[in-house]
Structure 1
Amino acid sequence: MAGRRWQAPYAENPDGSRGRFHKEPEAPLRSPFQRDRDRILHSDAFRRLKHKTQVFVHHEGDHFRTRLTHTLEVSQIARSIARPLGLDEDLTEAIALAHDLGHPPFGHAGERALDRALADAGGFDHNAQSVRVVTELEARYPDFDGLNLTLEMLEGLVKHNGPVLDACGRPAGPYRGGVLPFGFRAVPNLRALDLRSAPSLEAQVAALSDDIAYASHDVEDGLRAGLLDLAAMREVPLAADVLHGIEAGYPALDRHHVVRELSRRMITLMIEDVILTTAEALRRGQIESVTDVKRAREPLVGFSARRRGEVAELKAFLFRALYRHPDVWDRVCQAEAIVSDLFAAYGADPSRLPELWRNRLRTQPGVPLARHVADYIAGMTDRFALLEHRRLFDAAPDLG
């Protein structure tokens, strides 16, 4: 295809895609990976991200990131890295757009609540739930459930944080010593996916772009909300260096513009570092094909040693100063209680579920009730979860 004229030999090749679980005619004007991206963009789960928490609950302010705006920013960063490296930009973008589709309401707070509720039924993992969304829960097509994405796309989504099985077929990475999450195990024809080898470069770029996006934009949102202050940011090396450069160039710049310039410059520094470091890793490792990528023992996409340390310090700072800030943590605890209450209510009386989900109970007897309930709750937006809690319990925190 004409679009491959600038792609490197180690990029995933849409012309050589291994296809989809359900065979379909090829699109005459779009590559398989472009179709994957478009199907994700048109999905119900993608639209619901608009009203799902990133850090701040949806109604706390129109300018704070939601899970949707975060996802779009991850996608933009991923494309910015993929293109100069000669990767398939469409596949990179598709993985970035899909990576958070499985997030429940209230972000990681909702995830923790569902994981506890499902402790005896395989737990809950938002990455695995994203895969469950695109392979089963989306209901848009008459011939199959899910979005019928390419195997390359599914592998990228499953493995974007690294292989999930070791060479002997045992759970690896965050699942080492346990079992694969239900969302992975429930994939039809799971054995068709290569879960043991290193992820594609496109998937690695999407994963690191997620880190870049939330590390920089959570700083901006925290400063905007007044939960972080610029003086404290000077204790973080990456931010301190950027602030020094801003002050040198614009000594009288107002706080509003300093905050935005801080975020913008941090993103630029991290993107440029990843591109240069990854290009060197590919050269040093003599990576000349997709096969070489899959055989690599370590991630090929990454930061330089210096920048990796700075990003780790920034994340640690955000954990202490923002994610565990009393104002944020109080809402987190309330949100966890809301999700736990909803799970208990639907589990005790499944007739409270909508008709579509009651039908799934009848037509999918092999899926436990608890998993159906979790699937339903995970698809809720923040505001719908609050409305449901108020309907079922005549009260709900406003999280304001």
Structure 2
Amino acid sequence: MTAPYACQPEDSRGRLWPEALSTFRSPWQRDRDRIIHSSAFRRLKHKTQVFVEQEGEDYRGDYFRTRLTHTIEVAQVARTIAGALDLNTDLAETVALAHDLGHPPFGHTGEDALAALMAPYGGFDHNAQALRIVTQLERHYADFDGLNLTWEALEGIAKHNGPVNAPLPYALADVNAEWDLELHSNASAEAQVAAVADDVAYNHHDLHDGLRAGLFTEQELRELPVVGPAFDRVDELHPGLDPMRRRHEALRRVFGVMVEDVIAVAQNRLTGLQPHSAQEIRDMDGPIIRFSKPLYQNIKAIKSFLFTRMYRAPSVVEERASATAMLNDLFPLFLNDPGQMPDQWRQAARETASETERARLVLDYVAGMTDRFAMSEWLRLCSGGNLAGSVVTGQRL
């Protein structure tokens, strides 16, 4: 039984292309399943979270998160929080599973590079690209392009991080022109849960991955709020614990602190405000799902540490420069010579009426690449280039 402020399947605004209801699945279970079976979702397994997804590296390997494993962790957190708050867990999971579908190769580095390259043609944003994927680029169904997701799923993808203001990336503007997503308002509580779950997941697993990569030590982490007390508590309860178990026990406590804080804050706010519908959640002045102010400040300190010691670590910065250089080579190459793309993309490029349309087509192709495929295409087409002084081989960049 869900709360009155949860999104109710029977109240869904439906799909752009009407479909008969599923016999065994709610609308959002159906949305979730279509996302899981999409080509874009499968490609996330070879897309960067922080470390470029490769084999044969000294400090990389199967233990590090990819964009896919990150997405699965976000979905797990979203279901936990949504269930505790009597929200619709299927919708929260759906938005969580879709939230990174639009990420290009090389993670945020790739997004920054493509945003700069696309600046003359309407820009690039991974949330907007996710909408483009689920409304146009997945072409498997007989009756429509995209996945024909419900309005609530599209709304959640568009604004799970909050209301979206003009100017809109063209991909988002196109979808919103066809079906008004009410971008000025908050998203549903379920979509807000997905956004907070993203924060919980990456703040937790980036501490894990940074330690494994040797970018910082456990002793350094003990200087951080929340993290230090978690290690102290484990040492108190389990003196002399095996180092790897000790690390896991401490960081799972950090994870628990974040999840429990979000649930407690939301329960208090919902009890005080007494919303009676999902629309009341959307119409509030700000998000209902968020961290407490004290924990938010502590998380800011953790994020600041990770930014300096992990996201801008020399080895990671070197990878960022190499990835940016590759995309700076590939995008204009395909734009100026669409014949280098596969047949279906080449034919579509011939049918474009303007350079802007062709650039957007090239963007769809490049943004859909995995890390591995982008590297192999660079090797095939641009092997005479210079990637910020790095050597590119089959294993290393």
Q: In the alignment, which residue of structure 2 is the partner of 1:43?
A: 38
Structure 1 position 276, deviation (Å) = 0.6
Cα shift at 1:364:
5.2
- Tell me if structure 1 keeps the 8 A contact 2:345–2:365: yes
Q: Does 1:372 align with 2:361?
A: yes
Aligned to 2:26: 31
Question: 1:1-400 to 2 correspondence within 5 Å?
Answer: 6-59=1-54, 60-165=60-165, 171=166, 179-187=167-175, 189-363=177-351, 365=353, 368-394=357-383, 397-398=392-393, 399=396
Select between 386-395 and 94-103 the one with higher mean Cα deviation: 386-395
Contact 2:230/2:254 (CA < 8 Å) preserved in 1? yes
Aligned-pair identity in percent equals 49
Indicate if the aligned counterparts of 2:95 and 2:191 stay in contact, CA closer than 8 A.
yes
For 1:296, what is the secondary structure of its paired residue?
Answer: coil
CA contact (8 A) 2:224 2:302 kept: yes
Q: TM-score, normalised by structure 1?
A: 0.93
1:21/1:189 contact within 8 Å kept: no
CA distance in 1, matches of 2:314, 2:285: 41
User: Greater shift after overlay, 284-293 or 331-340?
Assistant: 284-293
Cα deviations by residue, 1:127-166 (Å, 9 ceiling, x for unpaired): 111111101111111211110000011001101001114x
Q: Are the aligned partners of 2:16 and 2:179 in contact in 1 as well (CA < 8 Å)?
A: no
Contact 2:266/2:288 (<8 A) preserved: yes
Q: Distance in 1 between matches of 2:322 and 2:154?
A: 34
Letter in structure 1 aligned against 2:2: Q
| 1:197–1:294 contact (8 Å) kept in structure 2 | yes
| Structure 1 segments (4+ residues) deviating >6 Å | none
Q: Please report how far the alpha carbon of residue 365 of structure 1 lies from its aligned counterpart in structure 2 after TM superposition.
A: 3.6
Instruction: Answer with 284-293 or 378-387: which moved more.
Output: 284-293
What does residue 388 of structure 2 align with?
A: none
Return closer, same or farther for 1:235/1:294 CA change in 2, 3 Å cut-off.
Answer: same
CA separation in 1, counterparts of 2:17 and 2:152?
14
- Give, in whole Å, the separation in 2 of the partners of 1:260 and 1:58: 23
Distance 2:203 2:272 in 1: 29
> Does structure 1 conserve the Cα–Cα contact (< 8 Å) formed by 2:115 and 2:125?
yes
Counterpart of 2:299 in structure 1: which amino acid?
Answer: V
Instruction: Give the superposition deviation at 1:301.
Output: 0.2
Query: What is the identity, as a one-letter code, of the residue corresponding to 1:13?
Result: Q
The two structures have a TM-score, normalised by structure 2, of: 0.94
Gaps of 5+ in 2: 55-59, 385-390
Q: What CA distance in whole angstroms lies between the structure 2 residues aligned with 1:389 and 1:275?
A: 46
What's the C-alpha RMSD, in Å, of the aligned pairs? 1.4
Q: Distance in 1 between matches of 2:176 and 2:76?
A: 31
Distance 1:333 1:277 in 2: 40
**Following TM superposition, by how much is the alpha carbon of 1:71 offset from its aligned partner in structure 2, in angstroms?**
0.2
Query: Equivalents in 2 of 1:144, 1:359: separation in Å?
Result: 20
Does the CA contact (< 8 Å) of 2:352 and 2:358 recur in 1?
no
Which residue of structure 2 aligns with residue 168 of structure 1? Answer: none
Amino acid of the structure 2 residue aligned with 1:97: L
Number of residue pairs matched? 383
SS of the residue corresponding to residue 120 of structure 2 reads: coil
2:178 and 2:284 map into 1 onto residues whose CA distance is 23
- Please state how far the C-alpha of 1:108 moved relative to its aligned partner: 0.7
For 2:7 and 2:36, how far apart are their aligned partners in 1?
21
Compute the displacement of 1:183 (Å): 1.5
User: Hey, what's the Cα distance between the residues in 2 that align with 1:348 and 1:216?
Assistant: 43
Letter in 1 for 2:245: H
Q: Does the CA-based 8 Å contact 1:208-1:302 persist in structure 2? A: yes
Query: How far apart in 2 are the matches of 1:106 and 1:31?
Result: 35
Q: Which moved more, 1:60-69 or 1:390-399?
A: 390-399
Alpha-carbon distance, 1:362 to partner: 4.2
For residue 232 of structure 2, give the secondary structure of its aligned residue in structure 1.
Answer: helix
Gaps of 5+ in 1: 1-5, 166-170, 172-178
> In the alignment, residue 3 of structure 2 is paired with which amino acid?
A
Q: Are 1:223 and 1:259, in contact at CA under 8 Å, matched by a contact in 2? A: no
| Alpha-carbon distance in structure 2 between the residues aligned to 1:11 and 1:206 | 14
Question: For 1:266 and 1:245, how far apart are their aligned partners in 2?
Answer: 11
